[in-house]
Amino acid sequence: MDNSRLLRTSGTLAAAAALLLSALAAGGPGPAAAAPRDRDEPGGAVHATASDTVGTTETHDTAATTDAGLPSLAEPLRPYYRQKLRWHSCGGGKSAGFECADLKVPLDYSVPRGGDITLAVSRKKATGPGKRLGSLLLNPGGPGGSAIGYLQGHAAAKYPSAVRARYDLVAVDPRGVGRSTPVTCLSDSEMDGYAQSDPTPTNAAETRRFVANLKKFANGCASRSSRILRHVSTVEAARDMDVLRALLGDGKLHYVGASYGTFLGATYAELFPSRVGRLVLDGALDPSLGPERVNREQAAGFQTAFTAFARDCARHSDCPLGTSGVTDAGNRLRSFLAGVDAHPLPTGQPRRLTEGLATTGVIAAMYDEGAWPALRKALALAANGNGSVLLALSDAYYERNASGSYSNLMAANAAVNCLDAPSAFHGPDDVRQALPAFRKASPVLGEALAWASLSCAYWPTHATGHPHRITARGAAPILVVGTTRDPATPYPWARALASQLSSGRLLTYDGDGHTAYTRGSSCVDSAINSYLLTGTPPRSGLRCS
């Protein structure tokens, strides 16, 4: 199991939960529900510093911008900013009605003539009526989530019609992700072993196996993706977005970033404040926090979400965690996970439900309160010896489909995070020393999340980023959105980012789940829509429910 550092929108997980509930209503748990391979995880620092990888090939914020949105460039970057995107139909099925193109960007911006890589781009043209406002670039988080999958599978249908009418919705899979020169690490069968491993080693033998699992993953990335592995930082992805902005003909970048996508958007604003248009950062990260603190505070965020789930569960007579309160519910869940560790459950397929898979299934359901009924059913079935629905929730989280194939979500997630920030811990002794603080933050999930924080300790490349405040001085107003009981990006992070940004404006959603836009609050949606359509952010301190 590796639940560390995956920060992405909740919509796709909620959709998987809905499929599970439909299958249960039809009389059985159904097959493992998972997202498609081409669409868009908890605790870890995702910090890169602009000055670490920018190089000296372009004068960024002080560069003059032409009417076509092309900055003054040093010679090596001109071919990238002046290439032509050749749009074509993306094909049939759920890709019908979308246009696709390939974008060339430098592998290494500090040596632009050293070779390039290809990024996949897709768009849905503005539907009208009304004057087109430009392109609205979308990123669903991760890192490692497919923006193209998010556009085609969610945003193009779920975004408000007024926004879709005025903007071309555009997505680019960031470097290393999905269709864009992806990072690969393990085979599908190896990923099965990785996902089901023990997340809470308690003795020397289990610890050795845990570390060996992390090393196998890291070594697989090094052997399969050596060329790109050092060039998938958030800073580089932000620079790629500026190339795309120019090629789309936009003088300013209009952007909606969710979860990790808020860090990507803030990094863009740090690099190019004069090119910031209308930026929505939903489910924000605090870029100033060190990696151990990020992981520990995220553990607390998941405890907050579990508390809300347990209270909701207790309202139902069939609650498998009982009705005696949150503490008792947590004790029951820990006891269940310990039992699964000792005796994995059958699932109706060759894979059995291990503690690692069960823990991931629980975490997956914390992202969206719409998944709570599925988790309640999953735990009830598991209490009777059937681990199939918890396994399905875990598969959806890892983006494993029914045929056993994984997207490259986990590979890209680790590659970006381990480049963006140093490892939270350097070895098992560090984790053991931190366990009391993590257990205090989350009596239910803290131990597993502490061990997951070791995921970058054996990474083959050195981090190029470090925690720092992002001010983006000179940028147009930037809207930061925080949800009070968000498990993956705790609400204080949104407050912190909004205060750091020189033009930040905070919008608060008093609610559950991860991120807020297009998740049912008319107050949130109205405020964001107005900002996107008029450029005017909501009043300071606006709070929605």
- Which residues is 136 bridged to in the sheet? 169, 254
Contact 473, 274 (CB under 8 A): no
Alpha carbons 195 and 297: distance in angstroms, whole number: 23
SS (H, E, C) 176-244: CCCCCCCCCCCCHHHHHHHHCCCCCCCCHHHHHHHHHHHHHHHHHHHHHCCCCCCCCCHHHHHHHHHHH
Long-range contacts of 428-436 (CB under 8 A, 24+ apart): 428/201, 428/207, 428/210, 428/211, 428/454, 430/454, 434/292, 434/296
405 is catalytic: no
Which of 47, 231, 254, 514 is catalytic? The answer is 514
The span from the first CA to the last CA of the chain, in angstroms, equals 34
| Cβ neighbour number for residue 474 with a 10 Å cutoff | 13
Structure tokens at 389: 């629905």
Strands 478-485 and 134-139 come out as unpaired
Q: Which of 10, 122, 146, 259 is catalytic?
A: 259
User: Among the options 40, 368, 486, 525, which is catalytic?
Assistant: 486
Q: Single out the residue of 160, 158, 148, 141 nearest to residue 265, CA to CA.
A: 141
- Distance from C-alpha of 258 to C-alpha of 208, rounded to nearest angstrom: 36
Measure CA 179 to chain center.
17
Q: Can you read off the two tokens belonging to residue 529?
A: 């829509």
For residue 535, is it left (φ>0), alpha (ψ between -120 and 50) or beta?
A: left
In angstroms, rounded to a whole number, what is the distance separating the alpha carbons of residues 156 and 98? Answer: 9
Active site residue 259: yes
Task: Give the span between the Cα atoms of 127 and 253, in whole angstroms.
Answer: 20
List strands edge to edge, sheet with 543-544: 88-89, 99-106, 116-124, 167-172, 134-139, 253-258, 276-282, 478-485, 504-512, 543-544
Q: How far, in Å, CA of 536 to CA of 486, rounded?
A: 26
Residues 542, 224: Cα–Cα separation, whole Å: 48
Is the Cβ–Cβ distance between 9 and 462 less than 8 Å? no
Q: Judge whether 486 counts as a catalytic residue.
A: yes
Active site residues: 259, 486, 514
